[in-house]
Amino acid sequence: MSATAIFGGDPLLKILSETDRNDLLSLGAERRYATDQRILDQGNDDRFVVLIRRGWTVVRAEAENGRSVIFGLCGPLDIVGEMAAFDGKPRSATVTALVEVHGRVVPSADFLAFLRGRPHAYEAAVRSLSARLRAADDQSQTLATLTVLQRLARLLLDLDAGDTSRAGAELNQQELAAAIGATRESVAKSLAALRARAVLRSEGRRIVIADRGALQAIALL
C-alpha cells in the first residue's frame, strides 16, 4: 500500500498523445490554488474537472465513522474530478492543495465532449480509471494483511520516489496514519522505532530515509 498507489500508472495527461494533451489543456481556464486550499469538496454536485499542471494535492474522504481516509496524492499531469464527470454523482472525495497548485479548470461537459470525439483519448481515460480501481483493491488487501510498521515503510518508500518526495514532506503524522489506515499514536511509535534504529532521520518536517535497504526489508519488498 502507498499513498499514491490508488493512482497507480502514468497520469492521464502523460499517456495522451501530444496533440490530444495540448488540445485538452486549451479548454477551460487557468486557476491557481494556494497551499491548503480545497480544490474539490466531497459531496458537492459541481461539474468540472481540474487538470493539474504544477503542484501536488492530497485526496481524502470522510468515512461514516467520522475518520478521514487518504486515498492518495495527485500531481503534475494528473486529472481530478473526472469520476463525477463520468457518472454524474456527487464528489466522492475532497482534494486539497498540499503546495501551490496551478491547474486548468474544465467544465465536465467540455471534458466529456473532448473524449467522445477522440477514441484514443477516451480509451486512455478508461484505462486510467481502471488502474485506480485495481489499485484500490490492492490497497484494501494490504491494509488487511500488513502491520502498521510495514504499511508505513511502504508509504515512506513510495513518497520518497521521484517528485512525490516534496509532497510527502507536507504530510503530518495524522495524515500519514490516515493514508495507511492506522492511528496517529501507532504511526508516532513506528516512526520513533525507525529513527532509533537509524532507518530514518528527520530534517525539519521532512522524514529522510537513512537506510533504504532496511526499510525495504521491513516493507517486505
Mean pLDDT of 20-44: 94
Query: Within a 13 Å sphere around the CA of 177, how many CA atoms are in the beta-carbon half?
Result: 15
Mean residue pLDDT across the chain: 83
Name all domains of the chain by residue range, CATH numbers in brackets.
5-142 (2.60.120.10), 147-218 (1.10.10.10)
Which pLDDT band holds residue 154 (cuts at 50, 70, 90)?
confident
Task: Flag whether pLDDT at 173 surpasses 60.
Answer: yes
Task: Summarize the confidence of residues 167-177 as an average pLDDT.
Answer: 72
Instruction: Name the percent of the chain lying above pLDDT 90.
Output: 42
Q: What is the mean pLDDT of residues 124-130?
A: 81
Segment (H or E) for 127 = helix 119-145
Report the share of the chain in percent with pLDDT over 70: 84
| Confidence band for 27, pLDDT divided at 50, 70 and 90 | very high
Position 2 scores a pLDDT of 39
- Specify the pLDDT at position 6: 42
Query: What's residue 81's pLDDT?
Result: 92
**Cell triple for residue 100?**
501551490
* 74 three-class SS: strand
Q: Is the pTM of this model over 0.75?
A: no
Tell me how far the alpha carbon of residue 66 is from its chain's centroid.
Answer: 20
Residues 6+ apart with CB under 8 A from 73: 3, 4, 7, 56, 57, 58, 59, 98, 159, 164, 167, 168
Distances (CA, A) of 137 to 1, 7, 71, 148, 173: 10, 12, 12, 18, 24
pLDDT at 1 over 60: no
Q: Is there a contact between 203 and 144 (Cβ–Cβ < 8 Å)?
A: no
3-state class percentages of the chain: helix first, strand second, coil last, to nearest 5:
45, 20, 30
Q: What is the pLDDT of residues 176-198, one digit of tens each?
A: 887 787 889 999 999 999 999 99
Confidence band for 9, pLDDT divided at 50, 70 and 90: low
